[in-house]
Amino acid sequence: MMNKKDIKRRYKGKLQDISSREYKKNQVVLIGDCLIENLNIKSKLPELTIYNNGISGDTTVSLLESLYKRAIKYKPNKLFISVGSNDMGFEDTNVKDIYANIIKICEEMKRRSKDTEIHIMSVVPVNPANMDNINREYVDARDNFEINMLNYYLKNYARKNRYKFVDITKYLKNDFDQLKIEYTFDGFHLNDLGYSVVSNTLKQFVY
């Protein structure tokens, strides 16, 4: 498992790869953290031109700082944003500040790419089960009550501003507002079954 120093080093390399890639404008772009980066576009959504510009370890701050390279210059017709969990887990940022940063991301995107249809994806909860495979460092650093609160704010914000809210969480969580154990291999990251749920949900919005 990578520490924060390794994550930051890898982040710079991944951002450089994205910055130097050839691309077409007016396509679908995905940005955010590991939930996005680990989504296998070719196997899950092979029939579409989608640029996966997710980077593991992403926070709202780092996404805002890299927004031009990862989204604005693409002038996408549809943009999907998935971020916020690492602000809680890595930076211990409170919900209102995370929410405020996501608003800044959306406003900056709309200001510099007016025709882009913005989609805000819900933040996925964790599963804190007492099992050997659970990544306690990642899971215990996140609070599902706060994640649920953030999603509530984001859903209302999207509705008021006529953005699309992509609620993947409702398909991934159990009756206790936890990530279903069958959709994760460590209580935090999704497994292939979990990503099938995500891709099937995205299909409702990308066409």
Percent of the chain with pLDDT over 70: 98
- DSSP per-residue codes, 138-169: HHTT--HHHHHHHHHHHHHHHHHTT-EEE--H
What one-character DSSP code corresponds to residue 124?
Answer: P
Confidence of residue 2 (pLDDT cuts 50, 70, 90): low
Q: 61 φ, ψ to 5°? A: -70, -50
Task: Decide if pLDDT at 1 tops 70.
Answer: no
SS3 annotation, 2-48: CCHHHHHHHHHHHHHHHHHCCCCCCCEEEEECHHHHCCCHHHHCCCC
What are the structural domains of the chain? 25-83+93-125+142-167+174-206 (3.40.50.1110)
Residue 173's Cα: distance from chain center in Å?
16
Question: In whole angstroms, what is the distance from residue 135 CA to residue 9 CA?
Answer: 21
Q: Tens of pLDDT along 138-163?
A: 999 999 999 999 999 999 999 999 99
pLDDT at 6: 79
Q: Using only C-alpha atoms, what is the Rg of the chain?
A: 16
- Model confidence over 42-86: pLDDT tens digits? 888 888 889 999 999 999 999 999 999 999 999 999 999 999 999
Q: Identify the sign of the CA torsion 70, 72, 78, 81.
A: positive
User: Within 10 A of 145 (CB to CB), how many other CB atoms are there?
Assistant: 10
pLDDT of residue 44: 86
Phi, psi of 32, deg, nearest 5: 145, -155
Nearest CA-CA partner of 154 in 116, 115, 175, 123: 123
